[in-house]
Amino acid sequence: MLETLRTYTLLESPTGDSRALAALAEVLEADAARAGFSTAREGDHLLWTLPARDVTGGDLLLLSHYDTVWPVGTLTDMPWSVDGDTVRGPGVYDTKAGLVALFQAVRRVVASGRPHPGVRVIVVADEEIGSPTAGDLVRAEAGRATAVLGMEPPHPGGDLKTARRGSTRARIEVTGIESHAALDPEAGVNAIDELIDQLVAFRTVVAGRPVLLNTGTIAGGGRTNVVAGRAHADLGLRFLDAENEEAVLGALRTLTPIRERAALTTTLLAHRPTWSSTEATTTLLDHIIGVAAGIGQTLDGHPADGAADTNTTGALGIPTVDGLAPPGGGAHARHEWVSLDGMHARAALLEALILATG
């Protein structure tokens, strides 16, 4: 397992780097086939299937990803290292160790010859930017699943995730009219001024709600002697509940220009709906806790602030629990690490969960 994780880590795989992702995808598919999966692709996303053995009913769907936030070359100053139980390197925790544990578990399930349900795995290529191209695939596969296990990192200490904030990345884009800023300013419409006023107005919509709003990037214009003809801002929004999510996104969609000759568009760059804990999630969590206890492991679960592809399945009402990847820490940070013992423990848990469903 350690050598496999090393191989995956040395194949750096930042989101959007098609060549780097393809190199890792080829290795992952070969390992998936050796573990017992049949493999397919939907664009850059990987889809693996383990047929059911002597069990009828829906499939167990697992969600993971193979992209990371780290650009190629990060290994130079953030090298692979092993110090006792601590394994470091870009992407080891989020979430390449989860793939290693999954393969180990499935190999054991296949070798056991015991009954088990069908297992479907989606390994997303753009999870770290909100899965803008994976949403339809996740929704389609969720429709045939009886339960969903998220292979994202767990809470600190290893506890599982039972709900997630909604997460949306949105763009407000303004088109104005360029003109000379001194000789004929009234002929122009300043897109930057319009954008600023729109951002201020939108903040009043969010004010007082349990919503996080972050203006992440802003750009526009070109020269100080030219009235700006274009400007845009990218926003990050986080929601605790569906009601406020619907209200805020509805207001975003209906923004209208303040200046008569300005044009304005809003676009959702990525959208993960709010996943609130449900009775179905609680039932699945209790099942996992019981299975874990049966192999000597202690687990619990509670909501998480971050978003992932399990937002989609949880919001659909499908029993969903996330955080099944090995414990560690430092996601998206230079000190990222994963527990070697935790990799073995999660492999054992995943094996037990697949077989327990059968």
In this structure, which CATH number among 3.40.50.9100, 3.40.980.10, 3.40.50.300, 3.40.630.10 belongs to the domain 2-164+275-357? Answer: 3.40.630.10
What confidence category does residue 30 fall into, taking pLDDT thresholds of 50, 70 and 90?
very high
CA distance linking residue 142 with residue 226, whole number of Å: 51
pLDDT in tens, 191-222: 999 999 999 999 999 999 999 999 999 999 99
Hunting for tokens 């990218």 — which residue is that?
A: 234
8 Å CB contact between 167 and 242:
no
For the chain, the structural domain boundaries read 2-164+275-357, 166-272
Cβ-contact 21, 46 below 8 angstroms: no
This prediction has a pTM of: 0.92
Q: To the nearest whole percent, how much of the chain has pLDDT over 70? A: 100
Distance CA 122, CA 47 (A): 5
Query: Which amino acid, 67?
Result: D
Q: How confident is the model at residue 229 (pLDDT cuts 50, 70, 90)?
A: very high
**166-272: what fold?**
Alpha-Beta Plaits (3.30.70)
Distance of CA 52 to CAs 20, 39, 58, 102, 115, Å? 33, 15, 9, 17, 7
* % of the chain surpassing 90 pLDDT: 98
**Residue 25 CB neighbour total at 10 angstroms:** 21
For 49-95, the pLDDT digits (tens) are 999 999 988 899 999 999 999 999 999 999 999 999 999 999 999 99
pLDDT per position as a tens digit, 123-139 = 999 999 999 999 999 99
